[in-house]
Amino acid sequence: MAKKKASGRKDPAAGAVAVVQQFLKHTIDKPDEVKAKALLTAATLARGAFHLTPEIFGARYTVAEPRVEKGHLWIPVEITSAGAGGSSQTIMFPMAPVEEDGQWKLDMLRTMVRMMGGMEAVVDQMAQAVGQVMEGVGEALASGLQGGDAFS
């Protein structure tokens, strides 16, 4: 049986995965802020949206398979940092690699917007629930006041 000849084409996401892995190396494994910042987009750097966080030095992480959602490439990274007293905290970072001037860079602004977007949905749900509770409280108060004996 003949072997298939390789097409010679590289996986288009390989460069994106490589920049994520390098970034993790320079922020967690062997922290080096200068090297980490060299992997960020110009917009991220202009906004000052990145600084090394000592709390994650030496953390464990897992890089998941790249995903394309709504035309954007995302690489999910799960980071678990050791906390005080043996506790740990796990955070999912949807890393946003983009091509900028022919090189893969990380758009940390888009990463943060995506992270906050998920939280905004939770906040909206909580606000709706609180609104429903307050509506119920208001109706109960109105009903009690109409009966004239709300405090007995």
In whole angstroms, what separates CA 134 from the centre of its chain?
Answer: 32
Q: What is the dihedral of CA 47, 122, 59, 50, to 10 degrees?
A: 0
Q: What is the pLDDT of residue 150?
A: 46
- Among 94, 4, 106, which Cα is nearest to 49's? 106
Q: Scanning the structure block, which residue is given the tokens 């949807």?
A: 94
- pLDDT of the residue at 43: 92
61, 53 Cβ separation under 8 angstroms:
no
Q: What's the predicted TM-score (pTM) here?
A: 0.68
Could you tell me the sign of the dihedral formed by the alpha carbons of 41, 47, 48, 49, in that order? negative
Q: DSSP letter at 149?
A: -
In tens digits, the chain (152 residues) has pLDDT values of: 444 444 455 676 899 999 999 999 999 999 999 999 999 999 999 988 678 888 888 899 999 999 998 889 999 999 998 776 777 888 888 999 999 999 999 999 888 888 877 555 555 565 566 656 655 555 555 555 566 554 44
Measured CA to CA, the distance from residue 106 to residue 32 in angstroms comes to 16
Distances (CA, A) of 93 to 77, 108, 109: 5, 10, 12
Q: What is the pLDDT of residue 109?
A: 86
What pLDDT does 128 receive? 62
